[in-house]
Structure 1
Amino acid sequence: MAFSSSLGPFLPPSGTFRAHPTRRLQAGAPGRLAASSPPPPDVVVTRERGKNAKLIAALEKHNIHSLELPLIKHVEGPDTDRLSDVLRNDKFDWITITSPEAAAVFLQGWKAAGSPKVRVAVVGEGTARVFDEVSQSDDQSLEVAFSPSKAMGKVLASELPRSNENRCKVLYPASAKAGHEIQDGLSERGFDVMRLNTYTTVPVEDVEPLTLNLAISAPVVAVASPSALRAWLNLVSKVDNWNNSVACIGETTASAAKKLGLESIYYPTTPGLEGWVESILEALRVYRQPKEAPKC
């Protein structure tokens, strides 16, 4: 469900919690936390390590306790090594980039290819920001020239301008786990699309018991991709009746949550950090509302 601003203000306890890997369950007391353990978190933030700081800082402004638990990590894809050769030897009307990680991997290959002149279409403000330093440089060999009206891949596929009436070539560097809606949508419109799977995601498998116990106790888990969502469900698969809320960064991840059978789902109509924070706050407001007494 999308968030709503109609509910009253939420006033949770102050402070932010971050997991400390060195802490363990208290010896001799299985299942009980040591006296020095921090309070339970309000929300679990799950992006890969090093990419949760902005969300944590935004939640701190609302006095939300955050537990950082990276659920996925990015690794090279089968076409990583091909990217620079393709950019060096071929010309494209558009490069379509749909995530910050895809942007970072593309920039590495683009620089290795000698920084050829390219025109880029991006999905989302976070993705666009990865290109800021390069696109604002003096040589202007990389131009961020298009962003769709809504930060979704299928909208990009429907709105990308044709710069050539005869043949318009598009390079789509993507995660190996990304769907096919962009390449299929563009192909249906007559674009010539080359997809390169330049990276992929794998779940983080080593989670210490204390951190996992705290994460499961949180009323909200925040996820930014279907891969992170699947990794979370795998972690909690051995827990009976886990039914807390999921706050998704956007509609794509929320749709995946619905397909996986989750019910308490919150997401913004426009993907991005601000809307994501509002969705988390909405989930917490609903969680904190007084529960109705059972009817006799």
Structure 2
Amino acid sequence: MIQSRTYSESLHKLKVFRQEQRKGRFRIVTSSSARVLLTREAGKNDKMSSGLSKLGLQCIELPLIEHSDGPERHLLPAALQSSAYDWVAITSPEAATVFLEAWNEAGKPNVRIAVVGAGTGEILNAAGVVPEFTATKATGTVMGAELPKVPGGNATVLYPSSAKASTDLQNALTENGYTVTRMNTYNTSGVINVEPEVLQQALTADIVTFGSPSAVKAWVQLVGLEVARSRLSVCIGSTSARACDAVGLSNESVLYPESPGIEGWLVKVQEAVHRLQVTA
């Protein structure tokens, strides 16, 4: 299990990490020499790359994720046209992209949008779709618990999701009194083939960032568990961190923010760099 982030546990993890560092498992770096691998799909690493560059860190990009249409993608435009739902729940940047495609196909119907976090909301806002609800914490459980009822509505939610998404949001919405229609509108899969020179560059990274469980699995399948364990892993949130735990990456070498998002992710990368630095 991923351990909670109490002060005493953090001290314990740092002590264990230092022991592993002295054994040579982790390279000791300065902040300017630390290299960070970005593994989100092509075109989705820009914000993280920009933030890391401002911190003086070197970025390497190796997209480990690919998206394809899910089995129910073709049903989404008609569902949006039906006006049968109080809310449409969007829980990731890719889900926002898929929604916008279907929304345009449907003739841009008037729908009420709820988003899991600000990053997802930004994609919709850029297309002129303004979310009416944003969860206070970017998790499905919090979003489902917080989503308000629409006066005079029928307490229904349309949830266009990844086929691999957990049922956290559905469960929380159900507990909140909603009837949920989930549509698996896209699939997420790991990249299998990587050019040798690209992989060689990726292996120079000291820190590997993960934005999804699929990226975690793809990385371990690509480089093997022993190599994966020799880098610090920094996840966007607890879901990806649990995936690290599931594949055998040590809790002591996995970091993630309490609230998923780019800002917290950057902070945790800085923490990882600090761990790698020589202490006085």
- Structure 1 residues 161, 83: closer, same or farther in 2, change over 3 A? same
Q: Indicate the SS of the match to 1:131.
A: helix
Distance 1:230 1:46 in 2: 11
* TM-score with structure 1 setting the length: 0.79
Aligned pair partner of 1:13 in 32, 37, 43:
32
Identity %: 41
Structure 2 residues not aligned, in runs of 5+: 15-28
Q: Is the contact made by 1:236 and 1:242 (CA closer than 8 Å) also made in structure 2?
A: no
Any idea what the Cα deviations from partners look like across 1:135-189, whole Å, max 9, x if unmatched?
A: 4xxxxxx541111111111111111112257731100000000011111221233
Aligned pair partner of 1:188 in 151, 161, 175:
175
Distance 1:108 1:166 in 2: 26
Provide the residue aligned with 1:102 in structure 2: 95
Distance 2:193 2:122 in 1: 31
Q: Is the contact made by 2:144 and 2:173 (CA closer than 8 Å) also made in structure 1?
A: yes
Distance 2:62 2:199 in 1: 8
Q: Please report the RMSD computed on the Cα atoms of aligned residues, expressed in angstroms.
A: 2.6
Superposition deviation, residue 256 in structure 1? 2.2
Q: Indicate the SS of the match to 1:75.
A: strand
Higher mean alpha-carbon deviation, 61-70 vs 211-220, is at 211-220
Any idea what the Cα deviations from partners look like across 1:11-54, whole Å, max 9, x if unmatched?
A: 5237xxxxxxxxxxxxxxxxxxxxxxxxxx61110010111122
Structure 1 residues not aligned, in runs of 5+: 15-40, 136-141, 292-296
Distance 1:178 1:57 in 2: 28
Aligned pair partner of 1:223 in 191, 210, 219:
210
Distance 2:224 2:269 in 1: 23
Provide the residue aligned with 2:196 in structure 1: 209
Corresponding letter in the other structure for 2:277: R
Q: How many residues align?
A: 257
Provide the residue aligned with 1:267 in structure 2: 256
Higher mean alpha-carbon deviation, 265-274 vs 173-182, is at 265-274
Any idea what the Cα deviations from partners look like across 1:119-144, whole Å, max 9, x if unmatched?
A: 11101111000111344xxxxxx541
- Structure 1 residues 183, 250: closer, same or farther in 2, change over 3 A? same
Provide the residue aligned with 1:233 in structure 2: 220
Distance 2:155 2:176 in 1: 10
Distance 1:70 1:146 in 2: 31
Provide the residue aligned with 1:148 in structure 2: 135
Alignment map for 1:131-142 (pairs within 5 Å): 131-135=124-128, 142=129
Aligned pair partner of 2:165 in 160, 178, 193:
178
Provide the residue aligned with 2:106 in structure 1: 113
Q: Indicate the SS of the match to 2:274.
A: helix
Corresponding letter in the other structure for 2:60: L
- Structure 1 residues 207, 90: closer, same or farther in 2, change over 3 A? same
Q: Indicate the SS of the match to 1:182.
A: helix
Any idea what the Cα deviations from partners look like across 1:187-234, whole Å, max 9, x if unmatched?
A: 233211111111111111221223223323322100111111111111
Distance 2:51 2:153 in 1: 47
Provide the residue aligned with 1:256 in structure 2: 243
- Structure 1 residues 100, 275: closer, same or farther in 2, change over 3 A? same
Higher mean alpha-carbon deviation, 121-130 vs 84-93, is at 84-93
Q: Indicate the SS of the match to 2:208.
A: strand
- Structure 1 residues 238, 273: closer, same or farther in 2, change over 3 A? closer
* TM-score with structure 2 setting the length: 0.84
Higher helix proportion (structure 1 or 2): 2
Q: Is the contact made by 1:247 and 1:265 (CA closer than 8 Å) also made in structure 2?
A: yes
Higher mean alpha-carbon deviation, 168-177 vs 51-60, is at 51-60
Structure 1 position 246 matched with structure 2 position 233:
yes
Select the structure of larger CA radius of gyration.
1
- Structure 1 residues 200, 73: closer, same or farther in 2, change over 3 A? same
